Structure 1
Amino acid sequence: MTRSFHALLASAALLPMIVASSAWAQTSSEPLPGAAPAGAEQADPAQDSDATSGQEIVVTGYRAALGSAQALKRNSDSIVDAIVSEDIGKLPDNNAAEAISRVVGVTVTRYNDEAGVILVRGLPDVATTFNGREFFSAEDRVLHLQDFPAGVAAGIEVYKSGTADLIEPGLAGLVNLRSRRPFDVKDTEIAGEIRGSYNDQSKKFDPAGNLLLTKRWDTPIGEIGALINLSYVRSTYRNADRYADSAVITPRGFGVDDPADDIKVTTPGVGNFNFPANAGNFYEKGVRHRPAINGTLQWRPSADLEVYAEGLWQAYRGNVLRDSFNVNFERRDLNGVAPTLSNVVLVPGEPGKAASFTKTGGYVPEFSRVAQDDRTDTYQGAIGFKWTTGRATLSGDFAYTNSRYKALEIAIDSQLATAPTINVDWDARGSAVFDLGGYDIMNPNTARWRGINQREFVAKGNGIQGRLDLDLQTDWAFLPRLQFGVRASDRNALSQNNSRYAYTAGLDIPLASLPTGALEEITEGFRSDPQRFRTWLAPDRDAIIANSEALRQLAYASVQKATILFPNDGGIRDAVTKYATAAIPVDPLGGFTASEASYAFYGQGKFAFNIGSIDIDGTAGARVVNTDGEYRGFSRVQGANGGTAIVPTTTRQNYVDVLPSAIARIRFSREWQVRLGYTQTRTRPGFGQLNPSLNITANSPGPDGSPPQFDASGSGGNPNLRPLTSKNYDATLEWYFAKNGSASIAAFYRDLNGFIGNYTQVVNDPIYGRVQLNRPENAGDGRIKGLEASVQTFFDFLPGMLSGFGVQANGTYLDGTNQLPQALGVGSPQVQITGLSKWAYNLTGFYEKGKVSARLSYNWRSGYTTSYNRNVNEVQYAGELVRPVSRLDFSASYEPVTNITVIANVSNILGQPFKNYRYYNETQYFGRDLRVEGRYFSLGLRFKM
């Protein structure tokens, strides 16, 4: 980036920012490049009226929203699907990620009662923009749609094939969240919503609301518009998970050093069999606070010039509590005595697979309570303009973004004083259940302090960006418009993770003696479940946070004593050093920094011609992008004398991508059209994925002296990752039979290379020995092919009240595979792409008549693979898969007084638990996690003046 351009962007960033919901990179009359203005079909006058009756129809509510989304799809230069909110708060979802899950071809993964990762056509590599501008959270490359309350969004557009003027889409496409602008309204508007929600798992009530104020003025210096939008959402969640370990063992083990070799089996006639090494419960609850403020100023001094300034403050505050209880079935006790298994029952028809048994002796159960406070603050400010002179339109946008995330975490680890009798069943509705016999778990004298972990994590990101675009009308009938543009951005990212652990299990310290006060019974989170063991004792969460320094001092004194009892334990000696100071020492291997600049130029033409009565138009062009990045971390290096040192490591990447695109629309009539498209896309690896640091931790022997399965475990980034590439082929057939009625079918093919995923492999390290290493790797070639179908309509032809019914339905079929990475040494077989469901569909029924509106929406996706991991015996890679997922949501509203509406929503009505399972050989598996999530009930009031 040149010095002058840097100065230009910096000066734009220093202009006073109106606190705003991210900046709209276009003017009020100009949509995101390549899109038609939402709700406007003026691009084709023949399409302004109902395609069936030929009469103009004025619609509101669901009809208006569906019609606007349909118009955007119909008139867009690219292949796009969208959802549109015709009024403030009209998307009946908690956040934008929930709302987008109803778009054809889009699925989301949910955790802790909210949608998170977005997948478009089975791929998670989605570029995201806010108002057409790059927006990101901390060190990420993407914005987190779950951080945007749905009430902020005027629309969400999913571009499944990009044009050259769009910021580089990811493999899966691009998602743009569009907010409101003051020139969207005629004069003055005050609108908002207040709402209260209840979660049946957390049993808490939470407030939410948003308020929009906007006004336009005609002044001597031109037309001026101002908008400010305030939003706040609080949500309290509680999830419960019971699990079985992914590691599957046998009582005879796999080697002479395997502790499972000594497990005693007393059931007559039972040979060798398989079972998970651990089972347990995991509960997580928390409170999320998401405030946001956005504002925009627009100034139109003349008909051919418009200037705007926008800004955003978006924040997240989290208070999290995690409780876990784990039972191990293979480890010896402190005296080196292995457990005994009795009452063993095998699964009928499945040789060597345990159904249930009783364990006595062996290692004691362990449990943990983790208290975490975290927060995010993200700011973006921007200025821009649009100037039309003659046949040329010049527009520009310049922005600065700054985002910071910080988390503080304290974990209190505990264990029981003695080993109880454990009765376990390995498949009760999908996963393990167990009990502790008659053990007095509520007696505080049975709990011992096992250790403490303190962690501080900070991630930061900032960047400047700017673009200039020229739209030129020509005299050429077949090429009426030429478009050119340049864009430059400069990004910085930083991540630092510092932690320390003090192991105190050998000191026999009562858990109740910690400076956190009396122990409390944890609140279990199961709704209706066969799990027999549910609660135990733990320190109070607030007391853990408030007494963090007292806990640190106790840990320091304890590990000093432990060095006498365990003089050869390097981990304890390391803890003495780390706990000697109030601040957690900086871990060089726990952080990275990155600087990355990108420079893009695009050129494209909009063509149009006729073949007889068939109209053909579209775009063809290319985008050229140069990426220049430097990524810095630390590496552990072995010296000539056998010692090791931590030294800084820097890697660089500089590459140029040429991304052609060509999309044609063939209009056979006013109602029927076909699109054909070819595009190429690239997706850069994440900054954390490129981190050159490796964090390797030596595994200590068990308390009984038994050797660990691996000498060390490690994780980190991979500076040798290359961008993901894809050649994309798209075709659609679209039928628009009414202003808010349409049907379409789409076929697509993606030729992929370099899909990135985290894989676990075993490497031989000269220092640590056999290391189980988890890090991102590029996979080999892959492909995705699929079909999408969608239909939406209202039944206006029905008589009376029945004419208020409508329906929207869509479905997606996907078939996608890629090669496992060469680095895994397993022959690079073709496997299903992780996260990809073969089938997914949404079915939504509407009713809208008079003062009443209602929506019932059902969402379903088939099972999918989440990961591939090497088995314990290292013979093959096994997959972890998720069962089919379904969801039913309902929303309704009633308008007793004009512009005052009562609203009610119910989310996750079915309350079906999340389930996954893990194969341990080619045909057999055990259930892994069964997670129970909450239902949300909300009631509120929406107003407009």
Structure 2
Amino acid sequence: MKSKMRLLASASIVLMMAGGAAFAQEASQGTVAASTDQTATEKAKDKDDSTVIVVKGYRASLRSAQQIKRRSDSIIDAVVAEDIGKLPDVNAAESLARLPGVQITHGSDEGSGVLVRGLPDVATTVNGRDISTAELRRVQMQDFPSGALAGMEVYKSGTADLLEPGLAGLINVRTRRPFDFKGFEIDGAIRETYNDQNGKYNTNGNVLITDRWNTGAGEMGALLNLSYTEQDFRNAVRWADGYIGSADVNGQTIRFPNSVGVYMDTGHRWRPSANATLQWRPNDQVEVYADLLWQAYRAEHANDWAQAPLWNGTKSNVVLQDGTDQVLSMTNTGGDPILFYRSTGFDRTDTQQIAVGGSFTSGKLKLSTDLAYTNSLYSNSSWSLDSAINKSYPINVNFVSDGGTAWNAVGMDVSDASNYIWRGYYESIYKVGGNGIQWRGDAVYDTEWGIFKQLKAGLRYSDRNAFYEANDRYAWVLPLAIPFDSIPVGELSLTQDTFRGGDQGFRSYLQPSRAGIVDNRQALLSVTRDALAQLVALNPTDQGWKNTQTQWQPDLMPYNPYRGFTAKEATRTGYIQGRYETHFFKSEVDGNIGVRIVNTMGKYSGVSSVTWDGVTTAVPHTISQNYTDVLPNVSMRLRPNDQMQIRLGITKTRTRPDFGQLNPALNISQYVPNGTPVPNAADAYGSAGNPDLKPLTSTNYDVTWEYYPSGNTSASVAVFYHDLFGFINNYTSRVNDPTYGVLEVSRPENAGAGKIKGIEIAGQTFFDFLPGAWNGIGVQSNLTYIDAYNELPAALGGAGQMVKIPGVSNWSYNLAVFYEKDKISTRLSYNGRSRWINSYDNRSGGWEGEGTEAVNRLDYSFSYSPNDAYTLNFDVSNILAKPFHNFHEYEAGKRFVRDIRDEGRYYGLSVRFKYN
């Protein structure tokens, strides 16, 4: 870590030193920093100009992003497409990870969840308009392909005129509009990728068509952008149970995970998307537009899982960590047989947004309005076929082999179908969605009121609905010992081995194909019903088997009325904000003072259910909320000269819980062991929402120093502090219920008070002062340190206990080296973050935690442009392909690696084209 810090710090110093020399050349090219004596109107015009799309090269991309950051009223960072259809990465989330203070999570070979300055509660907008997916309050950033975007801005401090940001801020995604172009143009790209882990090829592409023209009714423009991305992935995981068991060996208690296993995260996903815009400018005062956005997500999954139980059996060859009771390696003999499943499924998301709006300018007054409707639906259907080995084999396990658990089944022939028996069949359905309408109206007036130069005011109304429906059923048939190869799912074959190292011994096993399960569903229903009839006949007094038999009578499983959830919520918002300008100690000073007031009214309904002895009882619940937030903001920018500025900001933010988190329902199911009971199991397990959740609130303090010696050279330092309360996370706890015994329930809870403080250091430049070909070298780097703690929930007895906030790394860092000269562009980029905690629970009566070890990625790309119409590109992502590690800390200073995941390395070859 120290060497990485020195490298990044050195890069930042080089940036600052290079700035002065680079400035002279940039000035001669006509790119000069904005003058400090501009009028407010001129500054507003510059601000508009800064969003014009720059479509050529890394240098232009860095310059455009730098100008957006420099001229913004807020503290922001930006990433801009270096060319049509080319952000730095495949999706928006991965591009955002290259900005200072932004961290993301990875799963199934793609970047996904986004944290800004340590917080996941980020509001999202598209072209300044609120957008969300299904029942969430934000959109999934990985659903935005790079080919659809012009750029993104991460607002780390809010202003009253912005949609109220989450605790972490706001991410605005910008798409292209026809007036961004000079006239007719067709742009596009096609890209072929190869995954070296599973040997699969995928094709991605996008095309944009736009034109603008003058008519008798004024200037008009139209744009259509289509994008398609797809990816096959197969991650190999070797894992250890999060439940820590114990045994007595020669009079000594030893501790070890209850089971070990392997998991193959496998699937094919594809994302078609489209956006279209019409613009009309009848005269210099009026502009009208209509936007249409459609985003879709599709995925087919075929996941494999194997589990070797260790909770019973005889332990031998035990090796302990020195001075502890923690097992490093052992042999388990006579335990339960190995269990398997192949889980298949289909996911589908469709999100549509249609909006109309416009603006009118008359002298010093500008009026604007926007009306939008959004609808989003996500659904999932899954089918899982379970199997088991028909006898027990000795398990050799090493919990510290090549960074994690490795194990083998001694003497087992994994390719012999006679070793496998059918264990069960599972089906589930899930659907969640939301829709809403939003309207806003804004007025901007350039005043002559002393130091106050501009006044903004506006109103906003939104009305949203959300719902959730689900059901599942499971038939456990293991007691019948039915041969697995007799099930009508086609031929069994060994699963693909995609482990990168040689430590794991148990790497592959017999399973049906995905098509074998999905295409033979009716046959599976038939044999499942036959098996359940046998079990009912063998157990005529067991009501549980009879209830299961009833569940499997319908061919198509209906949604369970006990598991539904609905929400309806409306907000009314008003804001006012003034912009001031003055002088202070020979410095130009400007800033904003404003307040945003938001009233929220909501109604949330769900059904609580308890399943016990095969009987389900249910009770409906409905709660209402009505509260008002007052969110002030004050900011100041000091500009001692044309190259330097210092920002100060104080804001108050809040984030409402997601709709599903407010579900008032509690669902509990009795634990019925399939086979040998697991030691320390609860009597029942359940999950719940929490209608008592409060919005997360935070008061935020920001100070930044920014230095801009030239158009694409900059250095900055930002210090921030969040004083927050009510951070929401899921917690698992056990309680003793007088009726049902020990209940283990997972539900969201508000944590107590928290503090987040940190510093960001960033810089970028091209070495234009170097001679000849050397002046094509450029570098960009940033380093972020975050210290984030909050109290554990008082509701779970954790009041006063300060712990690290889940999901937050202390360190994150990026370093990119560019070369751009004539027809060649190339980039090598390194991105990483340090260890973080994922979650806490108190199942054992004391607080335990699970976390993830440091993640580092190296990517490379090379582009060649023989002319202005075509660009050829080669890229490699995740070059290092370092395994992903999770860990479980069950006592202070004692942990086992939870899982270790081998991920794919991707090679890409693409061509981009332009015609105008």
TM-score band, normalised by shorter chain: over 0.9
In the other structure, the counterpart of 2:665 is 693
Structure 1 residues 290 and 928: CA distance shift in structure 2, 3 A: same
Q: In the TM superposition, what are the counterparts of 1:466-505 in structure 2 within 5 Å?
A: 466-505=439-478
- Give 2:653's aligned residue: 681
Q: Write out aligned runs for 1:508-907 (5 A).
A: 508-566=481-539, 571-636=544-609, 645-701=617-673, 703-704=675-676, 709-872=681-844, 874=845, 876-907=846-877
- Mapping of residues 2-21 of structure 1, within 5 Å: none
Give the superposition deviation at 1:409.
0.1
Compute the displacement of 1:707 (Å): 7.4
Check whether the contact 2:332–2:395 (CA below 8 A) recurs between aligned residues.
yes
- Counterpart position of 1:19: none
Q: 1:90 aligns with which of 76, 82, 86?
A: 86
Task: Name the SS of the counterpart of 1:141 in structure 2.
Answer: coil
**CA 1:564/1:944 → structure 2, altered by over 3 Å: closer, same or farther?**
same
Residue 401, structure 1, aligned to residue 374, structure 2: yes
Determine the C-alpha separation between the residues in 2 that align with 1:682 and 1:131: 22
What is the match of residue 54 of structure 1? none
Distance 2:800 2:502 in 1: 41
Shift in Å, 1:753: 0.3
Answering whether residue 160 of structure 2 is matched by residue 164 of structure 1, we say yes
In the alignment, which of 273, 292, 297 is matched to residue 278 of structure 2?
297
How many Å apart are 1:40 and its aligned residue? 11
Report the CA distance between 1:530 and its aligned residue.
1.2
1:319 equivalent to 2:289? Answer no
**Aligned-partner SS, 1:689:** helix
1:943 is matched with 913
Deviation at 1:573, TM superposition (A): 3.0
- Is 1:247–1:871's contact at 8 Å kept on the other side of the alignment? no
Contact 1:860-1:887 at 8 Å conserved across structures: yes
What amino acid is aligned across from residue 914 of structure 1 in structure 2? F
Q: Could you say which residue in structure 2 is the equivalent of 1:915? A: 885
1:323-345 per-residue CA deviation (whole Å, 9 max, x = no partner) reads 000011114xxxxxxx1112112
Q: What residue identity is the alignment partner of 2:315?
A: L
Does 1:340 find its partner at 2:314?
yes
String of CA shifts for 1:517-570, please: whole Å, max 9, x gaps: 221111122122411110000112101001112212221221222134345655
After superposition, the C-alpha distances for 1:462-515 in whole angstroms (9 at most, x for unaligned) are 111010000011122411110000011111111111100111011111111111
- What secondary structure does 2:63 align onto? helix
Shift in alpha-carbon separation, 1:861–1:60, aligned structure 2, 3 A: same
Q: CA deviation at 1:674?
A: 0.4
Return the alpha-carbon distance in structure 2 between the equivalents of residues 725 and 410 of structure 1.
41
| Whole-angstrom CA distance in 2 between matches of 1:364 and 1:86 | 56
Change (3 A) 1:802 1:704: closer
Take 1:648 and 1:792, find their aligned partners in 2: how far apart are those partners?
Answer: 57
The equivalent of 2:180 in structure 1 is 184
Structure 2 match to 1:204? 200
**Residue equivalent to 2:252:** 271
From 114, 117, 120, the counterpart of 1:118: 114
Aligned-pair RMSD on alpha carbons?
A: 2.0
**Which of 896, 899, 906 is the equivalent residue of 1:926?**
896
Go from structure 1 to structure 2 and tell me whether the alpha carbon gap of 1:86 and 1:421 turns closer, same or farther (over 3 Å shift).
closer
Q: TM-score, with normalisation over the residues of structure 1?
A: 0.90
Answer whether contact 1:479 1:607 (CA < 8 A) is retained.
yes
- 1:588·1:646 contact (CA, 8 Å) conserved in 2? no
Residues 374-398 of structure 1: CA distance to partner in whole angstroms, max 9, x if unpaired? 1111111010000012221100000
Is the alpha carbon distance of 1:705 and 1:737 closer, same or farther for their aligned partners in structure 2, counting shifts above 3 Å?
Answer: closer
CA contact (8 A) 1:889 1:906 kept: yes
Amino acid at match of 1:694: L
Aligned mates of 1:589, 1:638 — CA distance in 2: 11
Distance 1:633 1:241 in 2: 36
Give, in angstroms, the shift of residue 637 of structure 1.
7.7
Counterpart Cα distance in 2 of 1:380 and 1:883: 39
Take 1:701 and 1:345, find their aligned partners in 2: how far apart are those partners? 31
Distance 1:917 1:706, change over 3 A: closer
Q: Distance in 1 between matches of 2:558 and 2:278?
A: 46
3-state SS of paired residue (1:274): strand
Whether the 8 Å contact between 2:610 and 2:669 is mirrored in structure 1 is no
Please name the residue that 1:257 is paired with.
none
- 2:599 corresponds to which letter in structure 1? N
Q: 2 CA distance for matches of 1:701 and 1:214?
A: 62
Q: CA deviation at 1:93?
A: 1.1
Instruction: Tell me: CA distance 1:735–1:707, structure 2 relative to 1, closer, same or farther (3 Å).
Output: closer
TM-score normalised to the size of structure 2?
A: 0.93
| 3-state SS in 2 of match to 1:69 | helix
1:308 corresponds in structure 2 to 289
| Residue type at the aligned position of 2:290 | A
- Is contact 2:611-2:670 (8 Å) kept? no
Q: Deviations over 1:117-170 (max 9, x none)?
A: 000011111111111111111111111111111121101100000000111100
Q: 1:59 to 1:848 in 2, by over 3 A?
A: farther
Is 2:744–2:843's contact at 8 Å kept on the other side of the alignment?
Answer: no
Q: Report deviation, 1:766.
A: 4.3
Q: Contact 1:92–1:891 at 8 Å: present in 2 too?
A: no
Tell me the SS of whatever aligns to 1:251.
strand
- 1:246 maps to what in 2? 242
Change (3 A) 1:883 1:808: same
Partner secondary structure for residue 662 of structure 2: coil
Deviations 1:860-917 (A, max 9, x none): 1110111112253x2x111112111100011110011232110111100000111121
Please give the per-residue CA displacement for 1:632-668, whole angstroms capped at 9, x wherever unaligned. Answer: 11023899xx997313211111110000001111111
* Aligned 8 A contact 2:370 2:439 in 1: yes
Q: Give, in whole Å, the separation in 2 of the partners of 1:173 and 1:225.
A: 33
Give the Cα–Cα distance (whole angstroms) in 1 for the partners of residues 577 and 519 of structure 2: 60
State the 1:355 CA deviation.
1.4
Q: Which amino acid aligns with 1:664?
A: M
User: Structure 1 residues 136, 196: closer, same or farther in 2, change over 3 A?
Assistant: same
Whole-Å Cα distance in 2 between the matches of residues 315 and 41 of structure 1? 41
Q: Mark the CA change 1:43 to 1:687 in structure 2 (over 3 Å): closer, same or farther.
A: farther
Task: For 1:828 and 1:564, locate their aligned partners in 2 and report how far apart those are by CA, in whole Å.
Answer: 56
Cα separation, 2, equivalents of 1:685 and 1:764: 28
Alpha-carbon distance, 1:603 to partner: 0.3
Report the Cα distance in structure 2 between the residues aligned to 1:92 and 1:80, rounded to whole angstroms. Answer: 18
Give 5+ residue unaligned stretches, structure 2: 1-30, 44-53
| 1:341 alignment partner AA | K
- Residue equivalent to 1:258: none
1:904–1:644 Cα change, 3 Å: closer
Query: Could you tell which deviates more after superposition, 610-619 or 221-230?
Result: 610-619
How far is 1:813 from its partner? 0.6
Q: For 1:552, what is the secondary structure of its paired residue?
A: helix
The letter for the 2-side match of 1:340 is T
Residue 501 of structure 1 aligns to a residue whose secondary structure is strand
| Per-residue deviation, 1:572 | 2.8
In the alignment, which residue of structure 2 is the partner of 1:446?
A: 419
Q: Verify the 8 A CA contact 2:336 2:676 in the aligned structure 1.
A: no
